[in-house]
A and B are shown apart, each in its own frame.
Chain A
Amino acid sequence: MTSPGYFLTHLWLIPLFPLITAALMLFVGRFLPKSAVSFFCVGSVFLAFVHAAGAVLQLRNLDPRVYQQILFEWVTPGVMPAFGGLLPFVADWGYLLDPLSAVMILVVTGVGFLIHVYSIGYMGHEGGYYRFFGYMNLFMFAMLTLVLANNLLLLFVGWEGVGLCSYLLIGFYFLKKSASDAGKKAFIVNRIGDTGFLLGIFFIATTFGTVRFTSQYLHDPVAFAGINDTLAAMLDQHRMAYGAPVLTVIALLLFVGATGKSAQLPLYVWLPDAMEGPTPVSALIHAATMVTAGVYMVARMNAIYQLAPIAMDVVAVVGTLTAIFAASMAIAQTDIKRVLAYSTISQLGYMFLALGVGAFSAGIFHLMTHAFFKALLFLGAGSVIHALSGEQDLRKMGGLWNSIPATSRPFLVATLAIAGIPPLAGFFSKDEILGKAFERLPYLWFIGFLTAGLTALYMFRLLFLTFFGLSRLDPELEHHIHESPRSMTVPLGILALLSIVGGWFAFPVLWGGESSFAKFLEPVMRSVLPEPAEATPHGVLGDFLLMLASVAIALFGIWLAHLIYVRNPRLHEKLATSWPRLHKLLVNKYYVDELYDALFVNRIQDLSTAFGLFDAKFIDGVGIDGSARLARVVSALSMWWDKWVVDGLVNFVGKFTRSLSTPVRMFQTGIFSSYAVFILIGLAALLFYYGHHMQVLVRNLR
């Protein structure tokens, strides 16, 4: 085993860089000038990117290509009542770099760095500059923790961390009601998914007695059991079998988590609203990185999914339905960012289709190319919005092709890439997915194929409405159109380049070869089935026909968009009026939000109202007020007792004494003369009593 080298041994630095600057920004950021904020925050992401790139380069020298590093024991050893009796359980704060996380950290730090650079220009005039970058760097830390985690529990920490940052950044303009509402919606909808995810983690812990992914690259693999190793051992000993119910349950629960984070049916509703956040946030979090966490997580747990065919089918079906459903909604949207949001949902659906048909590396491949061109689309849209001083409505754009060339050219590249035109990135990744789907589940391929046409249609609709045709701008705005600063256009150029070449790993597929990307990921995505399913033999010709079909339907979509929105601009209004119901249904996004409101939100509000009434009437009314009333009655009784019995006794003693003393008191008349009379009477009484003594005395004297 070759020695790992600096970048690998310092893997822990990659998430640490953004964490340090995030802490700096959030604690003392308000005292720093904007230039310092930009320097620290963008610099730290750049350093993270350099370290990530170095680590991936050094990883290629290792054999096998796995590097694992445990920083410290985090959840200290306990015992878990697992499948095979009590097992020691430990979760650590450790990082795992293998081909899968290598792809992820490169995408996260690379695209993240470009978006940070872009943000310098885009957010330059906004208040809360340091707060924005602090949250963005915190997000980078959480996302890197998520993808580098060596166990599910740490992955969950990153998972919740990105959720928190997403909430904070969607609600960045928190004075705007719609923005803070959107943040809350995202957070709450994600909680629903996270419940499933957490249950899945618990199931894994109790089934395998561990939450670590793999024991590879550790000196003591026995003490360090990984999920994959345990699963393989269980299969060997026939304690676990293909299609075991517990695996299906785990896979489905984990997928519930993925539908929340990655905006799949039925939990996708938060993502369009998330567009309330600043545009770089939409690009980084809600297009390129965070929303793909679900895809990453399912790919990471692929060993379990491979053994749970029912869960795989569910993943594939949900992904496909999401893809076409979201694509159809994108057609009728008028907000430039919302179109892109639905497009993101649709593309994520493609990724889940890929995972569901067992093409894990194709899903990750699409994740990567999608990160490039969707980040580019969002940043381009942001640049358009910037140029138009905040206008986001497609109906008030048009004719911008030559007025902002540094934005419109890269935007065209990204649009071609997402529409699947060769040889751009989207073509290769999407084609790989559709090819794999055709092998496994042809009817899903057909829906995906239709979605490809829809994708081309709505993306070119967006492109034509924004950049072509006659200008429909406010005359007021027309004078203010300005190209974005260099810090924004340079990232656009780099991303455009990546959107072109990003798919070329898969060039050999064209002549029946193997994609070098898939080969790179193969160690992680290796089949765990005892006898790998025999791939249906299909010739190069079949592949080629499928490719031709995809390209043809994409071109058809583009032609249709051109016909409706450029050649005959009135046509789309006519279409809308001739099918008013369909149009209304699409504009209102199938009334899903209203349906959720009616089914869940309002019901929960009713429940809260009922609880509130219970609280007011029963707890407060009967409990609190009742006890107060009882206390009043008791105290009235006790007051009566005190007044009439206790005081009565005291008064009685007083009165009794007084009545006894009254006759004696009568002598104290206060009249001087009467006292004299009493004295005389007393004297007379004495004389009367002792009178005869006196007589005897006098007689003796005589």
Chain B
Amino acid sequence: MMSPAHYLFLSLALFIIGCIGVITRRNVIVVLMSIELILNAVNINLVLFSRIFGDAAGQVFALFIIADAAAEAAVGLGIIIAFFRNRETVLADEMDLLKW
């Protein structure tokens, strides 16, 4: 039987993988993908607690977050493509124009 802890651990794992991806990867596309993982970890939590407390608001939140993630991906990829046209790179550590 699946206990809430299982869900929480899955969510935690996804969150940690996402965090590690955001911190360690140089490629911005991969970072974007990792952010998606983090967002989905949050979604799992929201749906889980929605079921536990019998409140549908959490699931509505999750749906909003999915839409938001799609929008974010679209905007993020647009920025990355525009950036790539100028600098021919998608590596985060080469994006240092505003560095002191």
Asked if residues A671 and B92 are in contact (CB atoms below 8 Å), the reply is yes
Give complex CA distance A175, B73 in Å.
101
Cβ–Cβ < 8 Å partners of B5 in chain A: none
Interface string of A665-684 (1 = CB under 8 A from B): 10011111100110010000
Cβ–Cβ < 8 Å partners of A668 in chain B: 99-100
Cβ–Cβ < 8 Å partners of B92 in chain A: 671-673
Cβ–Cβ < 8 Å partners of B22 in chain A: 673, 676
B26, B31, B53, B100: the one within 8 Å of A670 (CB): B100
B88 at the interface (CB under 8 A from A): no
Asked if residues A680 and B96 are in contact (CB atoms below 8 Å), the reply is no
A669, A673, A677: the one within 8 Å of B99 (CB): A669
B77 at the interface (CB under 8 A from A): no
Cβ–Cβ < 8 Å partners of A676 in chain B: 19, 22-23, 31
B24 at the interface (CB under 8 A from A): yes
Asked if residues B99 and A672 are in contact (CB atoms below 8 Å), the reply is no
Nearest neighbor of A698 in chain B, beta-carbon distance: B49
Give complex CA distance A669, B96 in Å.
9
Cβ–Cβ < 8 Å partners of B95 in chain A: 670, 672
The smallest beta-carbon distance between A512 and chain B, in angstroms, is 132
Cβ–Cβ < 8 Å partners of A671 in chain B: 92-93, 96
Q: Find the residue from A669, A670, A676 having the highest chain B CB count within 10 A.
A: A676
Asked if residues B23 and A665 are in contact (CB atoms below 8 Å), the reply is no
Interface size class on chain A is: 10 to 19
Cβ–Cβ < 8 Å partners of A669 in chain B: 99
Asked if residues B23 and A670 are in contact (CB atoms below 8 Å), the reply is no
Asked if residues B31 and A672 are in contact (CB atoms below 8 Å), the reply is yes
A533 at the interface (CB under 8 A from B): no
A701 at the interface (CB under 8 A from B): yes
A:638-671 near B, CB below 8 Å: 665, 668-671
Cβ–Cβ < 8 Å partners of B28 in chain A: 672
Asked if residues A680 and B23 are in contact (CB atoms below 8 Å), the reply is yes
Asked if residues A677 and B100 are in contact (CB atoms below 8 Å), the reply is no
B:1-31 near A, CB below 8 Å: 19, 22-26, 28, 31
Asked if residues A680 and B19 are in contact (CB atoms below 8 Å), the reply is yes
Asked if residues B100 and A673 are in contact (CB atoms below 8 Å), the reply is no
Give complex CA distance A676, B23 in Å.
6
Asked if residues B23 and A677 are in contact (CB atoms below 8 Å), the reply is yes
The smallest beta-carbon distance between B80 and chain A, in angstroms, is 12
Interface string of B41-66 (1 = CB under 8 A from A): 00000000000110000000000000
Nearest neighbor of A661 in chain B, beta-carbon distance: B100
Give complex CA distance A701, B50 in Å.
12
Cβ–Cβ < 8 Å partners of B25 in chain A: 673
Cβ–Cβ < 8 Å partners of B98 in chain A: 670
Give complex CA distance A668, B100 in Å.
7
Asked whether A670 and B24 contact (CB < 8 A) given A680-B19, A701-B53, the answer is no
Asked if residues A673 and B53 are in contact (CB atoms below 8 Å), the reply is no
Nearest neighbor of B52 in chain A, beta-carbon distance: A701
Give complex CA distance A669, B100 in Å.
8
The smallest beta-carbon distance between A695 and chain B, in angstroms, is 14
B:82-100 near A, CB below 8 Å: 92-93, 95-96, 98-100
Nearest neighbor of A702 in chain B, beta-carbon distance: B52
Give complex CA distance A665, B53 in Å.
46
The smallest beta-carbon distance between B33 and chain A, in angstroms, is 14
The smallest beta-carbon distance between A31 and chain B, in angstroms, is 82
Nearest neighbor of B25 in chain A, beta-carbon distance: A673
Q: Find the residue from B22, B25, B52 having the highest chain A CB count within 10 A.
A: B22
Give complex CA distance A188, B100 in Å.
85
Give complex CA distance A670, B19 in Å.
19
Nearest neighbor of B98 in chain A, beta-carbon distance: A670
Give complex CA distance A680, B23 in Å.
9
Give complex CA distance A76, B19 in Å.
113
Cβ–Cβ < 8 Å partners of A680 in chain B: 19, 23
Interface string of A236-279 (1 = CB under 8 A from B): 00000000000000000000000000000000000000000000
Cβ–Cβ < 8 Å partners of A665 in chain B: 100
Give complex CA distance A493, B96 in Å.
117
User: Could you list 30 examples of A-B contacts with CB < 8 Å?
Assistant: A665-B100, A668-B99, A669-B99, A670-B95, A670-B98, A670-B99, A670-B100, A671-B92, A671-B93, A671-B96, A672-B28, A672-B31, A672-B92, A672-B93, A673-B22, A673-B23, A673-B24, A673-B25, A673-B26, A673-B92, A673-B93, A676-B19, A676-B22, A676-B23, A676-B31, A677-B23, A680-B19, A680-B23, A701-B52, A701-B53
Given A668-B99, A670-B98, A672-B31; 15 other pairs, CB 8 A cutoff: A665-B100, A668-B100, A672-B28, A672-B95, A673-B22, A673-B23, A673-B24, A673-B25, A673-B93, A676-B19, A676-B22, A676-B23, A676-B31, A677-B23, A680-B19
Closest 3 CB pairs of A and B: A670-B99, A672-B92, A670-B96
